[in-house]
Every structure is written in C-alpha cells, then in structure tokens.
C-alpha cells in the first residue's frame, strides 16, 4: 500500500507542473518602487542620524571650549591674586628702604603676561567651532578639523597662562633676593 501511495504522489507531482518565474509586469514595477522607497527611507534615516551626530559633536565642542575657558579664568584669577600679594611684599620691602626696581619690572612683565592671557581667553570664549562639510562623506573630516582647531586654540591660550605663571615665579624669585 505504501508503494502505491508513493507512486501516486509522484505521478500527481509530475502531472501538475507549476510554472515558476512568471511575474506580472505591473507587480514587478510595484516591487521595484517599494524597493526604491525602502532604500530612500534608509538613506533618509542615515542622513538624520548623521545630522544628529554632527549636532552632538558641535555641542560637545562648545562645552569643551566653555569648560576650558572657565578653568583658565580660575587659573588667571589665582595668578592675579598671587601677583597682588607679591606687589604687597614689594611695597613692604620698599618701605624698609630696599631697592625693588628689579622686582617692579618683574611684576610689570607678569601683569602684562596676565593681561595677554586674559585677552586671549576672552577671545577664545567668543569662538564657535562648527563642523563644516559639503557632503556626508566629508562629515568626519569636518568634525576632526573642528576638533583639532579647538585643541590648537586652547593650547595657545594655555601656553600664555603658563607664561604668566612663569613670570609670576620670576617676580617671586626677584623678591626673595632682596
């Protein structure tokens, strides 16, 4: 019985020969349109994600600049306070009748260095670092360029603060020699 059943099924499957691969041209067009729509939707999602990433990076650069300039402000106010103490010491030595001309010169150069650093920091606060790109392929390059520009500008401001700190140390050393 089994053999007969298997033979009948094989004969039926051979008798009924379905035709595969015949597609209605209208359904083919609709399939192609749907495929194109899906591709466009994916591209739109990618573009939106890239825009979000660019905005996030812009905000991060802005926050880094803000936090760094605030920290530099704190350092400069500390250096300025120390310079005022050094100036008071200089006045005490001057009241005792000691020659403080070298110390006065060192204090003046320190003050100009502090003023230069404050000016550079104030200019740095106003700078805006935005990602510039022409197409999505250049987005990463634009982000890296903005980041390196920010780093370079902050480095120059920090160097000016370090110079002011060095001038303060020199002024203190001049007072110690008195």
CB contact at 8 A, 107 and 90: yes
C-alpha pair distances (Å), 146 with each of 3, 18, 62, 143, 156: 79, 63, 11, 5, 16
Asked, for residue 108, whether it belongs to a domain, the answer is yes
| Domain-located, residue 12 | no
Q: Is residue 20, in this structure, part of any structural domain at all?
A: no
DSSP 4-16: HHHHHHHHHHHHS
Q: Does residue 150 sit within a domain?
A: yes
- At 79, list the tokens: 């250096």
Q: What is the pTM of this model?
A: 0.73
Per residue in 139-167, pLDDT (tens digit) is 888 889 999 999 999 999 999 999 999 99
pLDDT at 154: 97
Average pLDDT of adjacent 10-residue blocks, the chain of 178 residues: 73 60 64 82 82 90 96 97 95 91 94 97 94 80 92 97 97 90
Range(s) of the domain holding residue 78: 44-176
Locus of tokens 């359904």: 27
In a domain, 7, yes or no: no
Provide the token pair at 140.
Answer: 């990463």
The alpha-helical segments, DSSP class H, found in the chain are 2-15, 25-95, 101-126, 139-176
- For 85, the 3-state DSSP assignment is helix
Please give the tally of structural domains in the chain: 1
Residues 6+ apart with CB under 8 A from 47: 136
Distances (CA, A) of 147 to 32, 58, 141: 43, 9, 10
Q: How many CB atoms lie within 10 A of CB 47?
A: 11
62 assigned to some structural domain: yes
pLDDT computed for residue 168 by the predictor:
96
Domain presence at residue 75: yes
Within a domain: 164? yes
What is each CA distance from 8 to 68, 113, 132, in whole angstroms?
A: 85, 102, 73
């Amino acid at each position: 019985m089994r053999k007969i059943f298997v033979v009948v099924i094989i004969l039926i499957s051979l008798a009924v020969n379905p035709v595969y691969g015949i597609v209605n041209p209208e359904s083919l067009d609709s399939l192609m349109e749907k495929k194109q729509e899906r591709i466009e939707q994916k591209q739109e999602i990618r573009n939106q994600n890239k825009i979000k990433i660019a905005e996030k990076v812009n905000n991060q650069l802005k926050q880094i600049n803000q936090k760094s300039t605030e920290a530099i402000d704190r350092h400069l106010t500390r250096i300025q306070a120390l310079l005022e103490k050094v100036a008071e010491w200089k006045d005490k030595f001057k009241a005792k009748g000691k020659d403080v001309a070298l110390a006065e010169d060192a204090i003046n150069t320190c003050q100009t260095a502090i003023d230069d650093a404050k000016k550079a920091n104030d200019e740095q606060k106003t700078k805006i670092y935005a990602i510039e790109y022409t197409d999505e392929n250049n987005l990463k390059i634009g982000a890296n360029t903005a980041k390196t520009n920010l780093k370079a500008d902050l480095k120059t401001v920090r160097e000016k603060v370090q110079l002011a700190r060095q001038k303060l140390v020199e002024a203190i050393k001049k007072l110690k020699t008195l």
